[in-house]
Amino acid sequence: MPHVENKKKALTFQELLFTLQRFWAEHGCVLQQPYDLEVGAGTMSPDTFLRVLGPKPISIAYAQPSRRPADGRYGENPNRLFRHTQLQVILKPPPERVQELYLESLVAIGIDLKEHDIKFEEDNWEWPVGGAWGVGWQVMLDGQEITQFTYFQQCGGMDLDPISGEITYGLERIAQFLQDLDSIYDIVWSRDPMTGTELTYGDVRLHEEQQFSAYSFDYADVDKLWEHLRLYEAECLLLLERAKTVLTEENDDALAVKRFPVMGAYELALKCSHTFNLLDARGAISVTERVGVMARIRTLIVGVAKIYAEQQRLTSLVAA
């Protein structure tokens, strides 16, 4: 089969990330750092999940390493990862012609739109545990899904107004596409401008894939994981309970309202979610249990979303 030489002009993995971040910064986005807790998707970072709630506009972009223990393959599958990297862009509210803006970002990373087949195919997003859903598309580039594009409609079981536009780039897939490679591990991560020495994705990350796959499939201690889950859950529930007395209109201690650790409660809920994913990968959750545990985590995450919205409302009342 004839091979097309377009590798030379292709961006390295890190250049791809810079370029997209610069693009969105130039279009008014705040660049945030990745969230420093295990999450299954960029959506779960508070910079998305909590910021889409309430009336306050925001444009924000960040790379988010996303862990999905069950997707680990010990580094042996060229297309699947325990941890992949998303570039998450939240536009609240989304500007007019946001799709055109997105396409411009593709041009910025070296994709000549006339040289490819691009389609926006229906793909609606749903995260039942977060009481969240939206409608949108998967963006297909020459048959490869490279981006999820979602208009958030609900979060934490609450209707959103204004809604947010969410653009999630799958960075490994895009890099693999740009560099025309069959394996993620062959992606050129960096190229030393002095020596031309290249480091691949495998050089940088393969050992993580091997070890975390082994941890989540073979080593993770099931009893201890259940115990972790129980402890995180208990503390989160305690905070949710205390929120009932602190986050009220009757409470005239504005500082106490402002300082109430909703974010702390959210982190505990995220810990539960990740622990659940580990248990699931370990094969420790029967399908029957699954429904029950998911309902427990939903209580936490939706509960946090509700107190977050309430805290925002109360602090804006004080400000006004």
* Nearer residue to another protein within complex by CB, 28 or 78: 78
* Nearer residue to another protein within complex by CB, 146 or 278: 146
Q: Are strands 58-67 and 30-31 parallel, antiparallel or unpaired?
A: parallel
Q: How far apart are CA 28 and CA 25, in angstroms?
A: 5
Burial 87-117 (b: 16+ CB within 10 A, else e): bbbbbbbbeeebeebbbebbeebebeeeeee
Q: Are strands 165-170 and 83-92 parallel, antiparallel or unpaired?
A: antiparallel
In the complex, the smallest distance separating the C-beta of residue 114 from another protein, rounded to whole angstroms, is 6
Q: Are 4 and 33 in contact (CB under 8 A)?
A: no
In the complex, the smallest distance separating the C-beta of residue 162 from another protein, rounded to whole angstroms, is 4
Binding site for another protein (CB under 8 A): 1-4, 6, 77-80, 93-94, 96-97, 99-100, 103, 113-122, 124, 134-135, 137, 141-144, 151, 153, 159, 161-163, 177, 180, 182, 286-288, 291
In the complex, the smallest distance separating the C-beta of residue 250 from another protein, rounded to whole angstroms, is 30
In the complex, the smallest distance separating the C-beta of residue 156 from another protein, rounded to whole angstroms, is 16
* Nearer residue to another protein within complex by CB, 43 or 176: 176
Which residues 6+ apart lie within 8 Å of 1 measured at CB?
none
In the complex, the smallest distance separating the C-beta of residue 161 from another protein, rounded to whole angstroms, is 5
Q: Are strands 125-127 and 144-155 parallel, antiparallel or unpaired?
A: unpaired
* Nearer residue to another protein within complex by CB, 4 or 320: 4
* Nearer residue to another protein within complex by CB, 42 or 165: 165
* Nearer residue to another protein within complex by CB, 28 or 264: 28
Residue 250 class from Cβ within 10 Å (0-12 exposed, 13-18 middle, 19+ buried)? exposed
* Nearer residue to another protein within complex by CB, 49 or 151: 151
Q: How far apart are CA 15 and CA 318, in angstroms?
A: 44
CB atoms within 10 A of CB 219: 10
Q: How far apart are CA 174 and CA 180, in angstroms?
A: 9
At residue 56, the 3 state secondary structure works out as: coil
In the complex, the smallest distance separating the C-beta of residue 82 from another protein, rounded to whole angstroms, is 16
Overall size of the chain counted in residues:
320
Q: How far apart are CA 116 and CA 147, in angstroms?
A: 15
* Nearer residue to another protein within complex by CB, 153 or 190: 153
Nearest partner of 30 among 68, 2, 62, judged by Cα: 62
In the complex, the smallest distance separating the C-beta of residue 78 from another protein, rounded to whole angstroms, is 7
In the complex, the smallest distance separating the C-beta of residue 271 from another protein, rounded to whole angstroms, is 26
